[in-house]
């Protein structure tokens, strides 16, 4: 793997960045920030870890430039009293050779009460008050002063946040700026606010570097379309900024754009690269940064080599692996981001970020593994994410670990979860676990079902049971028909089933993904869901909306408020929403209702060991994050 483009230095303004890998600005979840609006210690440590991880540039998360207007408490830079906390962050990052820009922003009408215009839009969660021209002039000054304080603190530059329909983005978007004064009414009017900010910083702090993040596309009625996005890019570039950071906006409650700014696993990788490439063509002398699900080093290198962008901005991938850049450079294993968007969901809940793949996110100081008092023989049963993580960690600490799996492959529930084409990032997680196991001292034994007798005979010092959970089948007549399988089995291997009509019972995540998978494999698919909506119990719109779009694109027929009643020779008999009986033809019925731990087997296994732990789905059915975190915790504990 040659990463010479990605790893080559680049100049931004008057500084040299050691490589082309930048960390995306990311808020940490409001619950983490204290009322003093300083960088919390653990956030400084989190950034430092990413500098150690070899990133050329770190762009901080959102920092507000006014103490009350158009924003809510985060980290502040609207007063000199904040300079020391920023100075501490900048110096801690510089110590490891990375450069750091601070992002300056105000939320405007998106989450606060003031905006360019007093209109309700799907992106404003309330009807904001329109800011007066005097207030906007005052806010221009706040951005300029915040940049000055950033410079004093020792940052290398300011990134002006003009995207994601925050205040500057709202000023630039025809969807949200309906003003008729000098700050609206025309393209130039809508661009006046950012122009005054950039010109003001340039004039007052001529040596300070300025980047701009902006939305080159908005999935919104009257929003920024692709043509306007390019016009904005060229205009901002011509203002003489030091880089353009190309993003988009898509946060209505009904649709998720194919050009979403934080693309989840149901959308392809490298989502915004083509759009960024067009902007790079328009502004060939400008440093242009691409973002949006860039996760694979070689792909990132290719984009730079092909002239599509000059730098890549990596968000979630750096949450999953703080050392992504260093590992890429040294050709070491990268912990992949599976784009499950749990971290992003945490942000919307205002909770501290956490990661499915990285249990040490925001716990960077706790990574050192404790030396065990005694080396033990550890038998881990079940090679899903909980079992693997536990085995790897226990082994790293020096224990002698054997990992057993009854199937001929590892992965547990993430194996079926990785099967649809659109879950390619989850299959990368399986490759990652495979590589980690093969590089470790863990002895992995596949195709071996562990029995209580085996445990008794092998007599390990510690038994870890991580056998996952079993699908629950509805107790309806005909359920034992050979045409009925679990959706998990359907996802595991559909090759032995003749293509035809398929019905999926259950419209949760697994059911919807299985339906898409069956459709991709040539089946004519229907979903039967008892609740009024598919994915009703999944509150994370960031995942729900694109999965619903896939269901639609793949022509899956949807029967909601419909109860499965009986499996017949023809298919599935159901009770329709009107209470009447109906029938859906099916050659195959895949059940995705729920799962439960196999309590009896767990009990029989654990009875044979003195020290034992039951972890992952067989303790309590949960997410990958729960399995990985628990596996790590027990791996450290043994
Ligand atoms: C948890 C989280 C917090 C974010 N906070 C910000 C932010 O404060 N400012 C910003 O411009 N973008 C923010 N973003 C968007 C990212 O900067 C980036 O544009 C996006 O995640 C795409 O990059 P990725 O696909 O590599 O994650 C955030 C994204 C995530 C996942
Ligand atoms: S929580 Fe999911 S999307 Fe976020 S960084 Fe971790 S693996 Fe990636």
Query: 152-190: per-residue pLDDT in tens?
Result: 999 999 999 999 999 999 999 999 999 999 999 999 999
Q: Which ligand is nearest to the CA of 26?
A: 1
Q: Is the residue at 4 inside a domain?
A: no
- CA 421 to ligand 1 centroid distance, Å: 25
101-105, 346-350, 558-562, 615-619: which has the minimum mean pLDDT? 346-350
Q: How confident is the model at residue 628 (pLDDT cuts 50, 70, 90)?
A: very high
Are 407 and 353 members of one domain?
no
**CATH number, domain with residue 493:** 3.50.50.60
Mean pLDDT score, 68-97: 95
Q: Which of 306, 332, 365 is the last residue of a domain?
A: 365
One domain for residues 87 and 102 = yes
Expressed in angstroms and rounded, the spacing between residue 320 Cα and the centre of ligand 2 is: 6
Q: pLDDT-based confidence at 450, cuts 50/70/90?
A: very high
Note the helical H segments in 223-272: 226-238
Q: How many domains does the chain have?
A: 3
In the prediction, which pLDDT does 378 show? 98
* Average model confidence (pLDDT) across the chain: 95
Token pair of 538 as six digits: 């999944």
Among 331, 365, 399, the domain-final residue is 365
- Whether the pTM exceeds 0.75: the reply is yes
C-alpha separations of 507 from 551, 594, 604 in Å: 10, 11, 34
Q: Is the pLDDT of residue 251 over 70?
A: no
Residue 449 belongs to a domain: yes
Looking at the structure, tell me whether residues 517 and 577 fall in a common domain.
Answer: yes
Nearest-CA residue for ligand 2 atom 4 is 343
Domain limit, last residue, from 309, 330, 365: 365
> Which atom of ligand 1 is closest in space to residue 61's alpha carbon?
8
Both 256 and 209 in one domain: the answer is yes
Residue 330 — φ and ψ, nearest 5°? Answer: -90, 10
> How far does residue 362's CA lie from ligand 2's centre (Å)?
13
Domain assignment of residue 248, yes or no: yes
Q: Are 220 and 331 members of one domain?
A: yes
pLDDT score at 599: 86
Per the CB < 8 A criterion, the answer to whether 122 and 255 are in contact is: no
In a domain, 5, yes or no: no
Residue with the smallest CA separation from ligand 2 atom 6 is: 355
Nearest CA to 60 out of 12, 91, 26 is that of: 26
Q: Which of 166, 217, 404, 517 is catalytic?
A: 166
- Please, is 249 exposed, middle or buried when counting C-beta atoms within 10 Å of its C-beta (0-12, 13-18, 19+)? buried
Residues 560 and 630 grouped into a single domain: no
- Taking residues 390-415, report their average pLDDT: 97
Judge contact between 581 and 575, C-beta under 8 A. Answer: yes
Percent of the chain with pLDDT strictly greater than 90: 90
Q: Which one, of 324, 323, 319, 363, lies nearest residue 341 by Cα?
A: 319
Tokens in use for 572? 């599935």
The CATH code of the domain that includes 220 is: 3.20.20.70
Q: Same structural domain for residues 151 and 72?
A: yes
User: Is 1 within the bounds of a domain?
Assistant: no
Eight-class DSSP state of 76: B
For residue 606, the enclosing domain spans 370-469+596-637
Pocket of ligand 1 (CB under 6 A): 24-27, 61-62, 103, 161, 164, 213, 247, 261-262, 291-294, 314-317, 343-344, 347, 353
What single DSSP character describes residue 598? -
Q: Are strands 501-505 and 443-445 parallel, antiparallel or unpaired?
A: unpaired
Clarify whether residues 534 and 432 are in a common domain.
Answer: no
CATH number at residue 381: 3.40.50.720
- Cβ contacts of 559 within 8 Å, gap of 6 or more: 526, 527, 528, 529, 574, 576, 584
**Distance (Å) from CA 157 to ligand 2 centroid:** 28
624, burial (CB in 10 Å: exposed 0-12, middle 13-18, buried 19+): buried
Instruction: Write down the pLDDT at residue 480.
Output: 96
Q: Which ligand 2 atom sits nearest the alpha carbon of residue 346? A: 1
Instruction: Pick from 262, 295, 314, 337 the residue to mutate for probing ligand 2's pocket: most ligand atoms within 8 Å of its CB.
Output: 337
Q: 133 and 154: one domain?
A: yes
432 among known catalytic residues: no
- Which ligand is closest to the CA of 361, given by its number? 2
Shared domain for 432 and 490, answered yes or no, is no
DSSP code of residue 352: P
425, 519: one domain = no
Q: Looking at residue 112, what is its pLDDT? A: 79
For residue 299, which of 332, 269, 261, 259 has the smallest C-alpha distance? 269
Q: Which atom of ligand 1 is nearest to the CA of 164?
A: 11
Q: What is the mean pLDDT of residues 386-403?
A: 98
The Cβ-side half-sphere exposure at 198, using a 13 Å CA radius, reads 25
Centroid of ligand 1 to alpha carbon of 314 (angstroms): 9
- Which of 112-144 are b and which e, b meaning 16 or more Cβ less than 10 Å from the residue's Cβ? bbbbbbeeebebbeeebebbeeeebeebbbbbb
Q: Are residues 74 and 56 in the same domain?
A: yes
Enclosing H/E stretch for 605: helix 599-606
Point out the ligand nearest to the CA of residue 265: 2
Q: What percent of the chain shows pLDDT beyond 70?
A: 99
pLDDT at site 570: 96
């Amino acid at each position: 793997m040659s990463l010479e483009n990605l790893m080559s230095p680049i100049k931004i303004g008057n500084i040299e960045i050691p490589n082309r890998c930048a960390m995306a600005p990311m808020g940490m979840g409001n619950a983490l920030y204290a009322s003093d609006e300083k960088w919390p210690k653990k956030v400084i440590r989190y950034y430092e870890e990413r500098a150690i991880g070899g990133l050329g540039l770190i762009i901080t998360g959102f920092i507000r430039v006014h103490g009350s207007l158009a924003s809510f408490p985060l980290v502040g830079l609207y007063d000199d009293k904040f300079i020391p906390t920023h100075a501490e962050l900048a110096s801690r990052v510089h110590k490891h050779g990375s450069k750091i820009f601070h992002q300056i922003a105000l939320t405007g009408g998106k989450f606060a009460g003031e905006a360019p215009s007093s209109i309700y839009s799907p992106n404003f969660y309330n009807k904001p008050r329109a800011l007066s021209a005097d207030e906007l002039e005052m806010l221009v000054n706040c951005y300029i002063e915040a940049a000055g304080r950033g410079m004093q603190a020792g940052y290398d530059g300011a990134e002006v946040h003009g995207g994601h329909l925050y205040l500057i983005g709202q000023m630039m978007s025809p969807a949200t700026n309906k003003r008729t004064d000098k700050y609206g009414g025309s393209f130039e009017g809508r661009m006046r606010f950012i122009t005054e900010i950039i010109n003001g910083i340039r004039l007052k702090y001529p040596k300070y570097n300025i980047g701009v993040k902006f939305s080159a596309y908005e999935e919104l009625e009257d929003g920024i379309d692709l043509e306007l996005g390019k016009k904005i890019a060229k205009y901002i570039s011509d203002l003489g900024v030091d880089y353009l950071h190309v993003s988009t906006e898509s946060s209505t409650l009904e649709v998720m754009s194919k050009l979403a700014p934080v693309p989840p696993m149901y959308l392809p990788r490298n989502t915004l690269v083509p759009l960024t490439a067009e902007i790079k063509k328009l502004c060939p002398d400008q440093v242009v940064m691409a973002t949006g699900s860039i996760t694979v080093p070689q792909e990132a290198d290719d984009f730079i080599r092909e002239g599509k962008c000059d730098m890549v901005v990596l968000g979630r991938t750096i949450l999953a692996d703080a050392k992504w850049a260093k590992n890429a450079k040294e050709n070491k294993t990268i912990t992949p981001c599976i784009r499950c968007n749990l971290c992003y969901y945490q942000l919307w809940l205002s909770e501290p970020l956490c990661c499915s793949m990285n249990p040490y996110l925001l716990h960077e100081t706790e990574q050192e593994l404790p030396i065990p008092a005694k080396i033990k023989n550890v038998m881990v049963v079940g090679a899903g994410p909980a079992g693997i993580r536990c085995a790897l960690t226990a082994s790293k600490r020096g224990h002698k670990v054997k990992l057993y799996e009854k199937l001929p492959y590892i992965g547990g529930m993430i194996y079926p979860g990785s099967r649809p084409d659109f879950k390619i990032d989850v299959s990368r997680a399986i490759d990652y676990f495979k590589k980690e196991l093969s590089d470790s001292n863990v002895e992995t034994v596949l195709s071996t079902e562990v029995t209580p007798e085996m445990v008794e005979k092998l007599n390990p010092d510690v038994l870890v049971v991580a056998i996952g959970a079993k699908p629950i089948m509805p107790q309806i007549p005909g359920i034992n028909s050979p045409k009925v399988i679990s959706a998990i089995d359907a996802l595991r291997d559909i090759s032995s089933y003749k293509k035809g009509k398929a019905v999926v019972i259950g419209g949760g995540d697994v059911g919807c993904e299985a339906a898409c998978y069956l459709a991709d494999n040539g089946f004519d698919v229907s979903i039967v869901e008892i609740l009024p909506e598919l994915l009703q119990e999944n509150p994370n719109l960031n995942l729900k909306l694109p999965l619903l779009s896939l269901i639609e694109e793949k022509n899956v027929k949807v029967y909601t408020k419909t109860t499965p009643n009986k499996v017949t020779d023809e298919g599935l008999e159901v009770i329709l929403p009107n209470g009447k009986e109906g029938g859906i033809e099916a050659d195959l019925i895949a059940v995705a209702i729920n799962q439960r731990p196999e309590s009896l087997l767990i009990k029989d296994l654990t009875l044979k060991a003195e020290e034992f732990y039951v972890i992952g789905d067989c303790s309590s059915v949960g997410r990958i994050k729960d399995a990985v975190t628990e596996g790590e915790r027990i791996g450290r504990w043994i």
